[in-house]
A and B are shown apart, each in its own frame.
Chain A
């Protein structure tokens, strides 16, 4: 499905994590099985909305992410739909063994909300800028993973995660980010969305980089390059059909993610491309380095995660495409 998203000059800004927090309240009203756990980060992860409304189904675990993951597993084993929330760095790394052995191996219906993903976390610096979650989580069997691009998509991803039976990791950020989608923009778990059509290459992005890709498309158009933009919110299970089709139809791909280049979205897309329809690819991502303190905007610039970086990558991939004839 093509949503055809055209950005206005000034875009509304809103936090993805607020979409998560609001969706939890909606879920809590619909389904008594929803239980929310937090590791001393109620307001940061915005689960305080749920806590106020459903105190009997809210569990404060304190600073103990491994324990929290296990508790969520036990709740899921008893038929609950637990969401546990903390920063992505702690959810994906601190509790990685608990996710692997207790949650994923058992295939329990646990939902993991990793806030503060990406370099845009800003002043907290490298320890709190989670940039490895995609690589870690997608390598674990039975795990699914969604990296929504904005407030509304996070809202929908949270509802979709609750509906999907099995463990799901949702990654969202800290900052206000451009609202690209609307309440009625199509969203289906496991399926990418074409946000804008194009002939010459495909920009495949997740998270806040979807906005940057849409902006890059505008610039590329002025250079006579027609770029398709795909919002690949579900990183696993990945939409192989859409990726292969985009490779075939446009002949070149640039991926963009606010995440390490090793094993992230770009790697996941490349795995499909090389097997199904090899075309030139460029990967816009963090180049195997830790983050640092700074303002979110200056970090996005410094780490090469802007529309202009996507444009450069697109020009490179177009050269390679032309060289192939």
Chain B
């Protein structure tokens, strides 16, 4: 059931500036491409994180191909929305979303974490066009987004700001400093998204350092909390719409996800948090995703 690799025309359509507002069907297909990209680039690099990138793939696709007002050809477009992955280690999904959206060529994904490529292990503003603020030390991104949001307020700019966080990351104290600030200043143009995949490097989040009840924590910090299935694209789109419509408070979408989603042997297994699949494992994964390493790496290298 190998779906044909998309042609130049389809890629170009994904590179348009502004909000794409793609329909669910198209987003679903793109999310599959993103998963194929992730497994392929990890197979090539043999270094990097698998689990989190796969759990972010669906809401990440909805964010980039429906919600965000951006211009990949002009990453500093003054009208742009601001997006930031505070979980810098999910670079496979960040770079894949960026490349599919048109920030840089798909072939760059095949140089992930290499000396000659720009795609650093964790996102680097110095190296990758479109990364505005570097990340990699957990807990810092929401503060950056607070600053962007305050800047927009000072300028009376209609920019919206999206910050992707992890569930393990909720253990960082700075997250709660930032949460307090955003609510205090009523930053309703700020939307957090938590990849609630219930796993972190050392095991289950609730075993390592429990974050429950997560939604209640954010509610008690005076945020508008929206809970959804992080793999249900219609539900994700409704959540984005609800966040956009809510005034007076920042919103956080707690996206319930499965670590390693889309690859049977990785799903819900914390041991896949921080390692790549070996080439034969990747081949199995790519077969499950309806392609092969040969086919998908050729597609990446062709663009």
Contacts and interface: CB of A to CB of B under 8 A. Distances in A.
Interface in B131-171: 132-137, 139-152, 154-155
A237 interface: no
A183 interface: no
B145 A74 contact: yes
A82 interface: yes
Contact of A66 (B125, B136, B177, B184): B177
A98 B133 contact: no
B140 A105 contact: no
A158 interface: no
Interface centre among B132, B142, B144, B148 (most CB of A within 10 A): B144
Interface SS of A by simple majority: helix
B201 interface: no
A98 B152 contact: no
Given A74-B148, A107-B126, A98 B143 contact: yes
Of A35, A57, A67, A79, most B-chain CB atoms within 10 Å: A67
A77 B140 contact: no
Given A61-B181, A64-B177, A70-B178, A106 B150 contact: no
A74 B161 CA distance: 11
B144 A77 contact: yes
A77 B135 CA distance: 13
B147 A101 contact: no
Contact of B143 (A74, A78, A79, A106): A74
B133 A67 contact: no
A25 to B, nearest CB: 18
A253 interface: no
Secondary structure class of chain B's binding surface, majority of residues: helix
B211 interface: no
Interface string A52-64: 0000110101101
Contact of B136 (A76, A77, A101): A101
B162 to A, nearest CB: 13
B148 A70 contact: no
B47 interface: no
Contacts of A76: 147
A101 B137 contact: yes
Interface string B111-138: 0000000000000111000001111110
A78 B153 CA distance: 11
Interface in A118-150: none
B174 interface: yes
B180 interface: yes
A106 B144 CA distance: 12
Given A101-B135, A105-B126, A106-B134, A71 B150 contact: yes
A68 B184 CA distance: 14
Interface in A150-197: none
A65 B137 CA distance: 16
Contacts of A249: none
B10 to A, nearest CB: 32
Nearest to A80: B151
Interface string A31-42: 000010000000
A66 B154 contact: no
Contacts of A73: 133, 143-144, 147
B180 to A, nearest CB: 7
B248 to A, nearest CB: 19
A97 interface: yes
A98 B178 CA distance: 13
B133 A106 contact: yes
Contacts of B134: 101-102, 105-106
B166 to A, nearest CB: 16
Given A71-B146, A73-B147, A106-B134, A80 B154 contact: yes
A57 B154 contact: yes
A148 to B, nearest CB: 26
A82 B177 contact: no
A165 to B, nearest CB: 15
When A and B form their complex, which 7 residue pairs have the shortest distance between CB atoms, in order from nearest?
A74-B147, A70-B143, A78-B151, A67-B177, A71-B147, A64-B177, A74-B148
Interface of B: 82, 124-126, 132-137, 139-152, 154-155, 173-174, 177-178, 180-181, 184
6 contacts: A75-B151, A78-B147, A78-B152, A97-B137, A98-B140, A98-B174
Given A57-B154, A70-B143, A75-B151, 19 more contacts: A62-B181, A64-B180, A66-B139, A66-B173, A66-B177, A71-B143, A71-B146, A73-B144, A74-B147, A74-B150, A75-B150, A77-B133, A78-B152, A78-B155, A98-B137, A100-B137, A101-B134, A102-B135, A106-B125
Interface of A: 35, 56-57, 59, 61-62, 64, 66-80, 82, 97-98, 100-102, 105-108
